[in-house]
């Protein structure tokens, strides 16, 4: 049962408000109900928001928490005047003090995606996503010279979500290859990767956690058996050590943490914007 309702209100997608708000809420031990209200770009919509927030306040008997990233001052004023929630205006908190410090006005652009589709960065990100999808789970050996990073590891160690995150968030062309029993018998990395060793980064995982994940997919199978998971992880780690490949354990790390570690090792310049 949730203990509080949190609204994320924006005249764009609401992703910025939700991402920033969730980062703050993560500091507190409670489970709120999340309500994202995107594209609040008219005064009429703002009044509807006020009614929705105030209705929740009456039902729950406590103030909802309201994060906003509203550029339009008139729309924001409606919410500030009528909303009975705890209002946290991110642009008011950060943008206006920066205007004073920098001695200039912000462009007051609604949403960070308003003209992004015309940019080279957006095009590159779409290309990276397509590349990562085409090279997921060893599907293709073509064009590996274009890869920014090649992830290797046993099945279900986190390669696919990490590859897609690197592509979507950082525009990296990320391929990934599973290490399988045939590779362990040969005691060598897949032959297609030999020429790209400098781009390879390994992912490993604790066997107990791997068995849990695999059992969700194939319960009571040899694939998910703890003994098999222990064997595969041990062989994969030994192979990566022999090959001199950088690697990390994904057991207790989020996708964001894994991706950031890889960026620090492979493409540190991507951490600068």
| Residue where one domain finishes, among candidates 74, 102, 130 | 102
- Clarify whether residues 171 and 257 are in a common domain: yes
- Clarify whether residues 68 and 27 are in a common domain: yes
- Clarify whether residues 85 and 13 are in a common domain: yes
Binding-site residue set for ADP = 153-160
Binding-site residue set = 153-160
Task: Give the model's pLDDT for residue 268.
Answer: 73
| Total length of the chain | 273
Answer yes or no: is 107 within a domain.
no
| Residue where one domain finishes, among candidates 58, 79, 102 | 102
Q: Summarize pLDDT for 180-226 with one digit per residue, the tens.
A: 999 999 988 988 998 999 999 999 999 999 999 999 999 999 999 99
Domain that holds residue 201: 117-270
Burial of residue 84 (number of CB atoms within 10 Å: 0-12, 13-18, 19+): middle
Answer yes or no: is 95 within a domain.
yes
Q: Summarize pLDDT for 28-76 with one digit per residue, the tens.
A: 988 899 999 999 999 999 999 999 999 999 999 999 999 999 989 899 9
The reported pTM is 0.71
CATH number at residue 218: 3.40.50
Q: Residue 183: which of 224, 244, 262, 237 has the closest Cα?
A: 237
Answer yes or no: is 182 within a domain.
yes
Residue that has been written with the tokens 């990562």 in this structure: 132
- Clarify whether residues 57 and 126 are in a common domain: no
Q: Residue 233: which of 256, 209, 255 has the closest Cα?
A: 209
The C-alpha atoms of residue 185 and residue 120 are separated, in whole angstroms, by 44
The C-alpha atoms of residue 103 and residue 112 are separated, in whole angstroms, by 22
Q: How many folded domains does the chain comprise?
A: 2
User: Which pLDDT band, with edges at 50, 70 and 90, does 273 fall under?
Assistant: very low
């Amino acid at each position: 049962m949730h203990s509080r309702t949190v609204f994320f209100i924006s005249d764009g997608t609401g992703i910025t408000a939700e991402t920033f708000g969730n980062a703050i809420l993560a500091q507190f031990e409670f489970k709120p109900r999340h309500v994202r209200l995107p594209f609040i770009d008219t005064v009429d919509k703002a009044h509807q928001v006020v009614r929705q927030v105030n209705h929740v306040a009456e039902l729950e008997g406590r103030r909802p928490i309201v994060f906003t990233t509203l550029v339009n001052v008139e729309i924001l004023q409606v919410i500030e005047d009528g909303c009975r929630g705890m209002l946290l205006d991110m642009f008011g908190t950060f943008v206006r003090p920066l205007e004073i410090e920098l001695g200039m006005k912000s462009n007051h652009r609604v949403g960070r995606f308003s003209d992004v589709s015309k940019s080279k960065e957006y095009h590159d990100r779409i290309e990276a996503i397509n590349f990562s999808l085409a090279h997921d789970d060893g599907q293709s050996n073509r064009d590996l010279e274009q890869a920014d990073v090649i992830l290797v590891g046993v099945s279900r160690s986190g390669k696919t979500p990490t590859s897609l995150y690197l592509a979507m968030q950082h525009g990296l062309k990320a391929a990934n290859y599973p290490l399988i029993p045939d590779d362990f018998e040969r005691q060598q990395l897949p032959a297609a990767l030999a020429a790209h060793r400098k781009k390879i980064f390994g992912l490993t995982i604790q066997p107990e956690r791997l068995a849990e994940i695999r059992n969700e997919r194939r319960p009571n199978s040899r694939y998910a058996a703890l003994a098999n998971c222990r064997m595969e992880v041990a062989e994969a780690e030994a192979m990566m050590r022999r090959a001199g490949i950088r690697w990390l354990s994904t057991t207790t790390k989020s996708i964001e943490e894994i991706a950031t570690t890889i960026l620090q090792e492979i493409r540190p310049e991507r951490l600068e914007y």
